[in-house]
A = this chain, B = another copy of it.
């Protein structure tokens, strides 16, 4: 299995504190030694960093931890391989273009038989079930909508596709279209929103304290999503199984649960 980490904020924000904790799980406090990756959006573009080596021993991971690259939308992943060998093309997040937008995707879980589903437009470069599932979802979205649709229709479509694939196994994922961050909980995903008045946070994995009141303005809103809580002095919201959360500008913006509908996307 793997672990996911996401950030969504209303101002460009760095992920150093949270990532410092996560990368410990890539070989020190956790067994996720089979590579790591991170995508950080800046406007419509995204920087992605991938390394098939353990995050605790990765020079690029250390560079990111020490250099504050700020972003409003970040997706990160540390890998414990189960399907697909350990190599660069099997390292999450995966990226594709749809409707002139840069989509990124990272997955925790396993999907049995997903590769029997036909693909039309997108093809995987690596051999993971995760990238295949991402290609399949984008294929379906592309077939359902000629261009970026109204957001509630898009969210419903994402929820329907996720609920469909979840029938094949475990399918926790983070996905972004550069504007929104989509979190689907199949078995385990939690989040918290930090806002004024900001307080200190204590990392479970590094033991370090960070006082966010020194790093923020009163207007900042920052949501962190993770497979497991990264701090032990804050309250994390456990997502319900089989549910979608959509984050924008640092806030959850799905006011009602998206109930998957009968399989019609249009």
Interface residues of A, Cβ cutoff 8 Å to B: 42-50, 52, 59-60, 63, 67, 87-91, 95-97, 99-102, 121-126
Contacts and interface: CB of A to CB of B under 8 A. Distances in A.
A126 B45 contact: yes
A42 B95 CA distance: 16
Given A43-B87, A45-B50, A89-B102, 8 more contacts: A42-B87, A45-B88, A45-B91, A47-B50, A63-B63, A97-B125, A100-B125, A102-B125
Contact of A100 (B42, B99, B102, B124): B124
A194 to B, nearest CB: 25
A142 to B, nearest CB: 9
Nearest to A100: B123
Q: Which 10 A-B pairs have the closest CB atoms?
A: A45-B89, A45-B88, A100-B123, A42-B88, A44-B89, A102-B125, A63-B63, A44-B125, A43-B87, A47-B50
Contacts of A88: 42-47
Given A63-B63, A96-B97, A97-B96, A87 B45 contact: yes
Contacts of A126: 44-45
Q: Tell which of A43, A50, A59 has the most Cβ of chain B within 10 Å.
A: A43
Contacts of A91: 45
Contacts of A100: 123-125
A18 to B, nearest CB: 20
Contacts of A87: 42-45
A216 to B, nearest CB: 23
A47 B45 contact: no
Contacts of A121: 121
A232 B121 CA distance: 47
Q: Tell which of A47, A50, A67 has the most Cβ of chain B within 10 Å.
A: A47
B102 A123 contact: no
14 contacts: A43-B87, A43-B89, A44-B87, A44-B88, A44-B89, A44-B126, A45-B50, A45-B91, A59-B67, A97-B122, A100-B123, A101-B125, A102-B125, A121-B121
A42 B85 CA distance: 14
A45 B131 CA distance: 13
Contacts of A42: 52, 87-88
A43 B35 CA distance: 15
Given A63-B63, A95-B95, A125 B89 contact: no
A49 B44 CA distance: 16
